[in-house]
Structure 1
Amino acid sequence: MKGKLVIFLLLLTNSLFAQSEWPIFRGNQQLTASVESELSSLLQLIASFQTDDDIKASPVVKDGAVYCGSTDGFFYAFKLNGDLLWKFDAENAIEAPAILLDGKVLFGSLDGWLFCLNQTDGGLVWKYKTDNQIIGSANWHKGAEQTVVAVGSYDYFLHGVDLKDGHNLWKYESDNFINGTPALYKNKVVFGGCDGFLHLVNLETGQVEKKIELSTYVASSPAIVEHEAYVGDYDGRFFAVDLEDGSVSWTYDDPEKNLPFIASPAVSANYIVLGNEDRQLYCFQRKDGKLVWTKRLSNRINSSSVIVGSKVVTATMDGMMFMHALETGEELWSYEIGSQMVSSPAFYQGKIIIGANDGRIYILGEK
C-alpha cells in the first residue's frame, strides 16, 4: 500500500509540474512529452508572436511566458497574449530549444555558443563556446555541490558546463555530430548521434558508462521511462533499449518503409507515438513494441508529437496540425497553420504552443 501511495504521489507531482510549466524540449528531463491533463478538441488560435525569420526551435513555457529563439538571430520572451517581454541578440541563427532552470534561460546557437540569460530581463549571465553548431536542447543534473548542464554540439562533443559560471567541467567525445537533446536517467544522460550509437554518460564525471550500437544515424532525441530508452533511427527502425544491461528489448522495423524517424517519440504509460518521413503517425505498445495503429497524415512529420491525457497532437511539414485519440488513432481535430513546422509543440495550461517557418509562434487554446 505504501509503494502504491508513493507512485500515486509521484504521478500527481509530475502531472502538476507538467501543467504549470514546460521548461525543456519535450516538457521534462526524460523527454517523454506526455502529461496527464485535459485538452479541448475545439482548439482555436488565441494569440501569436511574429519574428523576422523561421522558427525551428521548440518553445518552452513557464509562469505565463513563452521563450523561443528564431533563425533571425534573436531570442524572445513574450506573454501568452503575444506581448513582448524582452529579446536578446545572439548574433546568429537559433534552432535549439531553450531550458528554463533556476531563474536562467539557456540555449545554443548555430555558431556554437551556449548562452545563459536572466529569465526576468534577458540579461547575459555568461556564454560558453563549442567548436560547431548547437541544434539540440541542453539538459541538467543537480548534484550536491554543483548543477551540471550538458549540451551536444556538431563538434562531436557532449559538453558538461557549470550552471553557476559557465566554465567547462568535462567534455565527452562521440564519433560524429550530436543532433538531439540528451535525456536524463538518474545522474546520467542518454543521447544518440550520427555515429549510430546510444551513449550513456555520467554527468558528474563526464565518463561513458555504456555505448550501445544501433547501427545507423540517430537524429532524434530519446525518451526514457523507468529503465528503458526509446529512440528511432535514420533507416526507419525504432528501438526500446534497456539502459541497465545495454540490450535492445524490442525493435520495430518495416523493411518496405525505411524513411527516417526525425521526430522524437512521445511516451505515455502504455503507448509510444511518433511520426515519420513517410507521412505516417505510428502508435506502439510500450511494453512490447506491437503496432497499435498508424495514420497517414497530410505530409512528412519532422515535428515531435505530444500526448495530453487521451489525446495526441502532431504537426506536419505542410503546415497542418492534427489531434488523434491516443488509444484508437481516431482524428479529433485539425487546423491549418499554413507554414512548415519542424518546431515541436509545447503544452501549457490547456494550450498548444508551436513555431512555424513563417517566423510566427502560435498559441492555440479554447476561447
Structure 2
Amino acid sequence: MNADADTFRTSRRHCLRIGVRSAAGLLAAGLFPGRFSVFAGSTAVDTGWSSFRNGPAQRGLATCTLAAQPEVKWELASADGWVAACAIAGSHVYAPALQGYLHCLDRATGNELWKYRSIDSTDEKKFAPGFKAAPLVTEQAVYIGDEDGVLHAVDRTTGKLMWKYVTDAEIAGGVAAYGDHLLLASHDSFLYCLGRDGQEQWKFQTNDRINCSPGIADHFTFVSGCDEHLRVIDLMTGEKVRDVPMESYLIASPAIVDEMLYVGSHAGDVAAVNWQTGNIVWRYQGERQMPYHASAAVTDELVLVGSHDKLFHAIERSSGKAKWTFPTKAKIESSAAVADERVFFGSGDGNLYGVRLADGKEVWKFNAGKPINAGIAIGEGCLVVGEDSQDGKLRCYA
C-alpha cells in the first residue's frame, strides 16, 4: 500500500465507524459465567474484566467494587483515539488502539509493559490496521481481531506474536472462548471456530456482515448481523439449530440470561428473544425510534442500554416496559457496565456517567470533553475507557 493510501485510510477512521464500538465492543470469555475466571482449571472468583462484556453471557456485569466517586489514576493518549473496550486481568490492562497498537499497561500506574503492533514494521508512517474489537485475555494469550480481518494471538507475558488467522474482511467483534476452541465473526459473513493453535475447525456462513461478538450458553452460540437474522449455532457441529428473523440489521452483541436473549437493533428497538423456541417475547421502543448500536448490560431485573436518541434506557426485563430513562446531550454508542448497583456508560457528549439502578439518578460524572463511544471495562477496582477522537486519552478511574 502506498503512502497516499495510508494517509487516506487514517483520515477515514473517524468517518466510517458504524457498528464498531458496540461490536467491539464485543466478546465472550471462557466456559463459565462472568463471575468465574476464564483461565483453564480455575473456579476462583475473577474480579477482572477479561473480555468485552465480561463473560460468555455478555451481560456487562462487574464482579468487583468501585469507589463511590472514582478519580483519574492515569491516562494514555493515542493519535487516532480509542473505540474498543479494554480488558483488565490481574495487575494489567490490555488496551487496543485505533492506531494499530495493543498496549499492555500496569493497572496501578499506567506504565507500558509492552505493546504489539498489527503489522511487522516499526515505521510509524506505515499504515497499521487498527483495533476496533476488544481483546480476550486467557492465561497464556491475548486474542484480538483487526480492521483488516486478521486475528492475532499474542503471548500475554512477552507481547510477541504466537500466530495469525486471516479472514476476508474486518473483525469488529471480539473472540469468544469455548473449551479448547475460539469463536470469532467477520464482516466476510462467516462465524469461525478455531483451535487454540489457530487451526480452523469449522465455519458457518450468514448472508451479510457480522458485527457482534458471539455469545455462549450451554453448547450453543448466538450470532447477529446485517442480514437481519439472529442465529443459534450448535458449537459441537457448527450447524444452525434456529433462525430468528429480526426485521432489522443488528450491530450490538446479544446478552443472554437463561433461555432469554436481549439485543438492540438499528431499526430502533430492543428485543427479548427466547432462543430455545425462537419466540420474540417483547420489543421495546422509546418515544423516538432511533438505533441501538450499544450492547446491553443485563441484571436480574433490568436491561440497560443507550441509544442514538441520546437517552440511556432502563427496561424491565420481565415486562419490556421502561423503568426510567436518563438524558444525555448526544447519541450513546458506549456499551454500559454495572457495578455496585450503578451503571456506567459514556456518551458522544464527552461525559462518562454513573447512574443509580434503582431510580436512574446521576451519582457520578466525569467530563472528558471528547466523545466516549467505547465499551466500559470495570475490573480489579478500576474503570477503564478511552476517548473516540484524534489524540484521544485512555483513562483509568478508581
Please report the TM-score for the alignment, with normalisation by the length of structure 1. Answer: 0.91
Aligned-partner residue type, residue 87 of structure 2: V
Normalized per residue, which structure has more strand?
A: 1
Aligned-partner residue type, residue 149 of structure 1: L
Q: 1:258 aligns with which of 280, 289, 313?
A: 289
Deviates more, 1:58-67 or 1:355-364: 355-364
Q: Does the C-alpha gap of structure 1 residues 18 and 340 become closer, same or farther in structure 2, counting only changes over 3 Å?
A: farther
**CA distance in 2: counterparts of 1:200 and 1:354, whole angstroms:** 31
Aligned-partner residue type, residue 154 of structure 1: H
Q: 1:292 aligns with which of 314, 323, 326?
A: 323
SS state at 2:242 partner:
strand
Q: Which residue does the alignment assign to 1:89? A: 117
Q: Does the C-alpha gap of structure 1 residues 12 and 338 become closer, same or farther in structure 2, counting only changes over 3 Å?
A: closer
Q: CA deviation at 1:17?
A: 6.3
Aligned-partner residue type, residue 213 of structure 1: P
Instruction: Spell out the pairing of 1:161-176 with structure 2 (5 A cutoff).
Output: 161-163=194-196, 165-176=197-208
SS state at 2:305 partner:
strand
Please report the TM-score for the alignment, with normalisation by the length of structure 2. Answer: 0.84
Q: Which residue does the alignment assign to 2:229? A: 197
**CA distance in 1: counterparts of 2:166 and 2:231, whole angstroms:** 22
SS state at 1:295 partner:
strand
Question: Are residue 46 (structure 1) and residue 73 (structure 2) matched?
Answer: yes
Question: Are residue 72 (structure 1) and residue 99 (structure 2) matched?
Answer: yes
Question: Are residue 327 (structure 1) and residue 364 (structure 2) matched?
Answer: no
Q: CA deviation at 1:309?
A: 2.5
**CA distance in 1: counterparts of 2:35 and 2:236, whole angstroms:** 29
Deviates more, 1:275-284 or 1:346-355: 346-355
Q: Which residue does the alignment assign to 2:137? A: 100
Q: CA deviation at 1:76?
A: 1.0
Q: Which residue does the alignment assign to 2:386? A: 355
Instruction: Spell out the pairing of 1:307-326 with structure 2 (5 A cutoff).
Output: 307-326=338-357
SS state at 1:128 partner:
strand
Q: CA deviation at 1:205?
A: 1.6
Q: CA deviation at 1:317?
A: 0.9
Q: CA deviation at 1:287?
A: 1.5
Q: 1:188 aligns with which of 215, 220, 225?
A: 220
Q: Does the C-alpha gap of structure 1 residues 174 and 13 become closer, same or farther in structure 2, counting only changes over 3 Å?
A: closer
Aligned-partner residue type, residue 187 of structure 1: H
Name stretches of at least 5 consecutive residues in structure 1 with no aligned partner: 1-9
Name stretches of at least 5 consecutive residues in structure 2 with no aligned partner: 1-32, 38-42, 120-128
Q: CA deviation at 1:105?
A: 0.3
Aligned-pair identity in percent equals: 26
**CA distance in 2: counterparts of 1:71 and 1:36, whole angstroms:** 28
Q: CA deviation at 1:214?
A: 0.7
SS state at 2:58 partner:
coil
Contact 1:320 1:338 in 2 (8 A): yes
Contact 2:62 2:379 in 1 (8 A): no
Contact 1:270 1:287 in 2 (8 A): yes
Q: CA RMSD in A?
A: 1.7
**CA distance in 2: counterparts of 1:35 and 1:104, whole angstroms:** 22
Q: CA deviation at 1:167?
A: 1.1
**CA distance in 1: counterparts of 2:50 and 2:34, whole angstroms:** 18
How many residues align? The count is 349
Contact 1:313 1:321 in 2 (8 A): yes
